């Protein structure tokens, strides 16, 4: 799990700007950098909401990121989300391969893969294009036959696109989002409470509400970078 956290952290750091809002800065009276606020906060900001309405919209997100339901966002949640993402991807890989198991014996042969793909593409109006698609898919599936016995087993099937699965688990989904939101913690405890989360969101809202009327106008919303 420690390796998992390091891998996700390194990947997210390389591809995203980690949030710079901290509760310490808010308490010190420093104005948050709107352009570097978590995308999560910016994506929920629409024209017209009051602060209370804005926070109400963000609370369910905190609950979803709190994978173990202990009321905190911690590295445990990052690991939990990452593991569940991998489970879902493995299940998807198994489903994709084993839908070609036409005789239900738990193995997929080249003949079965070809028959299944021809069936799925039977309405193609371009026979040559259909043939190429079928050939590519069959070749793709049969590369999973690690022991070269002419068939792909359940164990072998779960290795479909292993690299892509690893990248997807690290770059997207709740694991990456939880890790970025965890950066809002300013106490060095590696945990974020709902109150800290809402304090950071409120600081962002007030920074955007430049006329201090308690409502986000279209002009104020349009001034916020979306990416």
Strand residues in 154-208 grouped as ranges (E): 191-193
Burial class (CB in 10 A: 0-12, 13-18, 19+), 21: buried
- Listed residues 166, 183, 202: the one ending a domain: 166
Residues 8 and 111 both lie in one domain:
no
Residues 79 and 13 both lie in one domain:
yes
163 pLDDT above the threshold of 70:
no
CA atoms of 75 and 50, how far apart (whole Å): 32
CA atoms of 17 and 227, how far apart (whole Å): 10
Residues 31 and 136 both lie in one domain:
no
CB 62 within 8 A of CB 197: yes
Domain that holds residue 126: 94-166
45 pLDDT above the threshold of 80:
yes
The pTM of the full predicted model, rounded to 2 decimals, is: 0.66
215 dihedral zone (left: phi>0; alpha: psi -120 to 50; beta):
beta
pLDDT of residue 4: 52
The count of residues in the chain is: 227
Indicate whether 89 belongs to any domain: no
CA atoms of 194 and 126, how far apart (whole Å): 56
CA atoms of 32 and 29, how far apart (whole Å): 9
User: In Å, what is the CA distance from 30 to each residue of 5, 34, 212?
Assistant: 30, 12, 16
CB 72 within 8 A of CB 197: no
Mean pLDDT of the chain: 80
- Listed residues 129, 149, 166: the one ending a domain: 166
Indicate whether 227 belongs to any domain: no
Residues 174 and 73 both lie in one domain:
yes
The pairing of beta strand 72-74 with beta strand 191-193: antiparallel
Mean pLDDT across 210-227: 88
Residues 79 and 172 both lie in one domain:
yes
CA 63 to chain centre: 16
pLDDT tens per residue, range 58-104: 999 999 999 999 999 999 999 999 888 888 888 888 888 899 999 99
CB 113 within 8 A of CB 141: yes
Residues 159 and 108 both lie in one domain:
yes
Q: 136: which 2 tokens? A: 């590519």
Residues 76 and 181 both lie in one domain:
yes
Instruction: Tell me which range, 26-40, 153-167, 175-189, 210-224, is most confidently predicted by mean pLDDT.
Output: 210-224
Strand residues in 44-202 grouped as ranges (E): 72-74, 107-109, 151-153, 191-193
Number of structural domains (the chain) is: 2
Indicate whether 11 belongs to any domain: yes
Residues 179 and 75 both lie in one domain:
yes
Q: Which of 30-39, 97-106, 133-142, 156-165 has the lowest mean pLDDT?
A: 30-39
Residues 78 and 146 both lie in one domain:
no
């Amino acid at each position: 799990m420690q390796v998992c956290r390091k891998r996700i952290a390194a990947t997210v750091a390389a591809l995203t700007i980690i949030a710079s809002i901290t509760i310490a800065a808010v308490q010190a009276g420093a104005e948050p950098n709107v352009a570097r606020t978590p995308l999560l906060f910016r994506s929920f900001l629409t024209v017209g909401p009051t602060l209370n309405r804005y926070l109400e919209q963000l609370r369910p997100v905190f609950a979803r990121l709190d994978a173990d339901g202990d009321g905190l966002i911690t590295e445990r949640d990052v690991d939990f989300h990452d593991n569940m993402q991998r489970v879902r991807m493995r299940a998807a890989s198994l489903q994709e391969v084993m839908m070609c198991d036409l005789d239900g014996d738990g193995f997929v042969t080249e003949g079965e893969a070809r028959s299944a793909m021809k069936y799925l593409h039977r309405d193609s109006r371009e026979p040559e294009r259909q043939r190429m698609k079928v050939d590519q898919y069959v070749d793709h599936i049969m590369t999973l036959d690690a022991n070269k016995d002419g068939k792909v087993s359940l164990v072998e099937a779960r290795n479909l696109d292993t690299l892509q699965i690893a990248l997807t688990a690290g770059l997207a989904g709740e694991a990456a989002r939880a890790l970025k939101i965890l950066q809002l913690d300013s106490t060095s405890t590696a945990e974020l409470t709902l109150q800290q989360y809402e304090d950071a969101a409120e600081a962002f809202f007030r920074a955007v509400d430049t006329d201090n009327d308690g409502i986000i106008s279209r002009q104020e919303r349009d001034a916020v970078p979306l990416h």
